[in-house]
Amino acid sequence: MNATVHPLDDLAAYALGVLDGDELRALTVHLESCASCRAEVRSFAETAWAIAETQGRDAPPRMRAAIVERARQDAERRAPRRFAGLWRELLRPVPLVVPLALAAVLLVALVGYGSARRDADRYATVVAGAVGARVVSLAATGAVAGVRGSLVVPANGGAPYLILDLPAPASGKTWEAWVIRGGTPVRAGVTDARGVTALTLTANVAGGDTIAVTEEPAGGVDAPTGRAVLAGTS
Amino acid sequence: MARIAGGDPAALGELYDRYGRTVFGILYRLLGSAEPAEEVTQDAFHAVWRRAATYRVDRGSVRTWLLAIARNAAIDWRRTKGKRLEREAAIDEAAELIEETRVDDRVIASLRAERVRAAVAVLPDEQRVVLSLAFWSGLSQSEIAERTGTPLGTVKSRVRLGMSKLRERLRLEGER
């Protein structure tokens, strides 16, 4: 969506959580680059909160303790494992080639960091904004550097979509998404967008399906011909 | 939120002290009884606990973020564990609320709630109906259009107009 075209009609619905389909995906991306629309959404969201407040109701006293206790147990569960794992990794003998390789990776990462940081942050924020949905990260295959992707399956039964962070496809090429079930790939949408974008999948997604993105001739093809740049299992 | 993101359970308790009553109330309204409302309230606050690091202040206040999480958790609950609930029943509940905004005689403690109730009550009927469905049924705009037999464009404009009027009226009331 062009940042200069403000979808004003959808902002109240977004704040209420009743926007769906392509409009929701388009607006989610648009908000990342539009401060004035974000301010409008914030304002409508506060109105929604005011409505919610009218329904305030005393919860059973045990609720607070249960919430805090669950958080405490979660914190305990995560903390020891994290440090134990860290110590194990630090104390493990490491071949010389590993630190050398890590240093090389770090150097490359730092060179690219400045230019990539903004889109990386934006991508992370768009993914984080997928509230109330199941989000599955797609793994970069290494075929193209710096790509990111996530499958988003809305809890409200809406069409699944991909949040992608991709470079522009090569001249005469396009990015094409696939849903692969039982070894058979089904076309699921194409995009030429560069940077962070949302792509609604045109094929159904079920648990266990593989989702992949390949670079294909412009317009897309019926069966993948290029190497996958992103892949993951639903 | 920084303390919650840093893993301080007491901070989550403080957040609950501030907003728990509203979250539980709206979930009670959405889910129809105390038992699922308790379960989903706990899930919503736990989601805040796990996702606190992703919260961005420029996207809205903590309470509206919490409200979005709670509402989505309720919709998710209804679509999975709560499938037995009839959608028509949800619509009936929404219609019931419309009456309550006029004649509800329960004591609403806060003056702010009174102001909101008054602001909702003076909305045109068609806008109040659509906003009520949006709030209490867990339906999206397109689902509301389908269920009520109203064109989607009409539903959209009623949501926008209703929310705009409500926001403006509350703003004016707040200035008095």
Question: Across the interface, which of B71, B108, B113 has its CB nearest the CB of A17?
Answer: B71
User: How far, in Å, CA of A48 to CA of A116, rounded?
Assistant: 36
Question: Across the interface, which of A21, A57, A125 has its CB nearest the CB of B28?
Answer: A57
Mutation choice for A interface testing from B27, B59, B172 by most A CBs within 10 A: B59
CA distance A109 to chain B (A): 23
- Virtual torsion, Cα B25, B27, B28, B33, nearest 10 deg: -160
Identify the band that residue A196 occupies on the pLDDT scale cut at 50, 70 and 90. confident
pLDDT digits over A12-26, tens only? 999 988 888 788 888
Cβ distance of B21 and A57 shorter than 8 Å: yes
Residue with tokens 């058979």: A184
Residue A58: the pLDDT is 86
Of the given ranges (A91-95, A200-204, A219-223), which has the lowest mean pLDDT? Answer: A91-95
Contact A123, A148 (CB under 8 A): yes
* Shortest CA distance from A70: residue in chain B: B46
Cβ distance of A64 and B157 shorter than 8 Å: no
Cβ distance of A17 and B59 shorter than 8 Å: no
Residue with more model confidence, B149 or A134 = B149
The answer to whether B26 contacts chain A (CB < 8 Å) is: yes
Chain A hits for B28, CB-CB cut-off 8 Å, are 55, 57
Chain B hits for A34, CB-CB cut-off 8 Å, are none
Q: How many CA atoms lie within 13 A of A118 on its CB side?
A: 5
Residue with more model confidence, A143 or B47 = B47
pTM above 0.80, yes or no: no
Cβ distance of B22 and A52 shorter than 8 Å: yes
Cβ distance of A50 and B112 shorter than 8 Å: yes
Nearest to A74 by CA among B11, B16, B8: B8
A–B interface: beta-carbon pairs under 8 A: 193
Residue with tokens 């670079």: A215
pLDDT digits over A50-59, tens only? 888 888 888 8
Average pLDDT, chain B: 79
Percent of chain B with pLDDT over 90: 30
Average pLDDT over residues B72-90: 64
Residue with more model confidence, A111 or A167 = A167
pLDDT digits over A77-124, tens only? 776 544 444 445 444 554 555 555 555 555 555 555 554 555 556 777
The complex's ipTM?
Answer: 0.77
Q: Is A167 exposed, middle or buried (0-12, 13-18, 19+ CB in 10 A)?
A: middle
Contact A226, A214 (CB under 8 A): yes
Residue with more model confidence, A73 or A6 = A73
